[in-house]
Amino acid sequence: MGRTLTYPKGVSNTVKRYKHRATYDLGAIHSIINTSQVLNVSFNPGPEDPFPTILPMIGQMGSFEYPSSTIDEPLECYLHGYVSSRIMNLARNSGSKEQGLPICIATSRVDGIVLSLTPNSHNYNYRSATLHGYAKLVTSEEEKLWAMKLITNSVVADRWDHSRVPPTGQKCLEIVAGSGKIRDGGVSDERKDTENGGVTKRIWTGVIPVWEKFGEPVPSDGNLVTEIPEHITSFIADRNAQNQAYAERAVHIALPPEEQH
C-alpha cells in the first residue's frame, strides 16, 4: 500500500527507516506540500470543544533564514491566513507558552484510480504528506513580505512581480515531525482472483490517470491588458504538462515485490 517516507526527527538528518530512500525523503515530502493548491491544517480549538478542526489554507515550504535552501533541506512551512482568523489568534495566544500551537498539516493528491478485480484491492495512485509542528505568528515585516511573495508565486509562478505589492498576516510552522506516502504502479490483485478465469475474463482491470487540469484563462470585466501575459500562459502549459506526465508515468512504475502477484 505505497511506500512510507520518514521525515528526520529532531536535529539529525539521519533517516532510520527506509534508508534506501533517505536521500530524497525530505524533497519528496516538501514537493508534495509545495505543489498542493490547498493544505489541510488541523488544530484543537480549545478545551471546551472535543473536536479537532481542519481549515483549508495556502502554504509553502521555505527558509527565510537560509533562502537558498533546496527542497530537500530542512525547511519551515509558511501558511497564509488573515490575522483576525481563529487559528491566528490561537497561535498568537499559545505563543506565550514558548512552543506555539500544536498543528498538523496534511495534503494528498490522487494520481490515478486503480481498478482491480475485486473492490477490496481497488486503490488509488496518490501522494500524501503530513507535517506536525508548532504554529507561530510571523511578526517581522521583512519575513512577512518574503513569505507573501513565496506563497503568491507558488499559486502562479512569477505572479508577484506582475502585480501591485503589499504585505499581510502570515504564520510559520516549526516542524517537529513529518511523513509522506506515495503509491504508484499498476493493478495488484489477489492470486485467488487472478487465477480464476471466470473472474478475469469478465472484469476489466487497469488504471485511470487523474490530474489537475488548468483551463483557458477568463479575463475579468475590468481587465485592460488584452493579451494574456506570458507568465500566465507558460504557467498553465507547464503545469498541465507536468501534471499529466506525472499521473501517466505513475501507472508504469513497477510495484514493490510485496504487491506483485
Site for its own copies in 24-83 (CB under 8 A): 37-38, 40, 42-44, 50-56, 58
Query: Nearer to its own copies by C-beta: 13 or 260?
Result: 260
The residue from 83, 228, 241, 253 that contacts its own copies (CB under 8 A) is: 228
Neighbours of 178 (CB within 10 A): 23
- Is residue 186 at the binding interface for its own copies, with CB under 8 A as the rule? yes
Query: What would the grid cell of residue 220 be?
Result: 475579468
- Is residue 94 at the binding interface for its own copies, with CB under 8 A as the rule? no
* 3-state SS assignment for residue 184: coil
Report which secondary-structure segment, H or E, holds 128. Answer: strand 123-137
Residues 6+ apart with CB under 8 A from 126: 2, 108, 109, 110, 111, 181, 182, 183
For the bound state, the minimum distance from the C-beta of residue 258 to its own copies, rounded and expressed in Å, comes to: 15
Residues that contact its own copies, how many (by CB under 8 A): 91
Distance CA 105, CA 89 (A): 18
The residue from 106, 147, 172, 173 that contacts its own copies (CB under 8 A) is: 106
The residue from 8, 92, 232, 259 that contacts its own copies (CB under 8 A) is: 232
For the bound state, the minimum distance from the C-beta of residue 228 to its own copies, rounded and expressed in Å, comes to: 6
Query: Nearer to its own copies by C-beta: 52 or 139?
Result: 52
